Amino acid sequence: MVAVRRATAPLLLAGALLLTGCSGDVPAAPAPVTTRTTSSPPPSSPPPLSPSVTPSPPVTPTPTPTAGKVVVLDPGHNGGNGAHPAEINRQVPAGRGQTKPCNTTGTATNAGYPEHAFTFDVAQRVGKALADKGIRVVYTRENDTGVGPCVDRRAAIGNEANADAVVSIHADGSEAAGANGFHVAYSSPALNAAQGAPSTRLAQTLRDTMRANGFSTANYIGTNGLSARADLAGLNLSTRPAALVECGNMRNATEAARMTSADGRRQFAAAIAAAIEAYLAS
């Protein structure tokens, strides 16, 4: 802060101006003073000092391109399916005039680690990563102990949520010798606009991002990591961009070890989440 000094007015005493000199000087005789009746205005206050720094206006955060988007995650199968065969074997619509069983038990590693547990764990990890970016996440099932839902209902959940992307998470169980690697399925031929370019682009983005994160494309199914399918109910019945990721072959010892470990599931989830974010931002 800068101090401001004001001039001190001369001191009037008994109508005479008192003068002081240096030490040893002889005071001069006082001169006559003429008294005026007009009064002087009080000294005006100095103008306020301007601050040296002008405060910056508040900064409004720029929303990310993915904030507010909706993603439906569909962890394949369910932990209670095996104990309810009548319920999961009943036929439901599967699109293209077909019917299929409501759901299945899924596969497992040779050591018995089930696909339904793997897909649920990975989906939860993917969902958390997306939610942390402001993306609204909807799951087709909320636990790993229930039954279903049926494949037609899973597709309906994505449609009802008006999802920007629907991603089903699975693992394969091929017994073919040496079968390994992931692949991404999409509906073909497309039955609506969402199953056309948007779903194809979602599938390609999943394939490219997983490959960039060190996962190898399947050597036993599909072409270059992509698989056009006309028999998957969840894809046939979707009116939103949708794709299904088969993360790898659970019957392959190397891939089974990766799927069984928590760190391996973290790697799968990180790649899938990054792919979904890239798709939503594009």
Active site residue 87: no
* Banded model confidence at residue 22, pLDDT cuts 50, 70, 90: very low
State yes or no: pLDDT of 224 exceeds 60: yes
Question: Residue 122 pLDDT > 70, yes or no?
Answer: yes
pLDDT at 62: 53
- Identify the pLDDT of residue 65: 75
Q: For residue 279, give the H/E element and its range.
A: helix 262-281
Find the mean pLDDT for residues 247-267. Answer: 98
Distance CA 179, CA 252 (A): 7
pLDDT tens profile 34-92: 444 444 445 455 555 444 545 555 555 455 678 889 999 999 999 999 999 999 999 99
Catalytic annotation, pick one of 115, 246, 255, 277 = 246
Vertex 162: Cα angle to 73 and 157 (nearest 5): 50
Element (H, E) at 229: strand 226-229
pLDDT in tens, 26-36: 344 444 434 44
As a whole number of angstroms, the distance between CA 237 and CA 254 comes to 34
Task: Fill in the DSSP letter of residue 96.
Answer: T
In sequence order, the 6+-apart residues with CB closer than 8 A to the CB of 209 are 271, 272, 274, 275, 278
Rounded Cα–Cα distance for residues 104 and 16 (Å): 115
- Residue 11's pLDDT is 36
Among residues 115, 81, 80, 74, the alpha carbon closest in space to that of 265 is found at: 115
SS3 state of residue 242: strand
pLDDT of residue 63: 55
pLDDT band at 178 (very low <50, low <70, confident <90, very high): very high
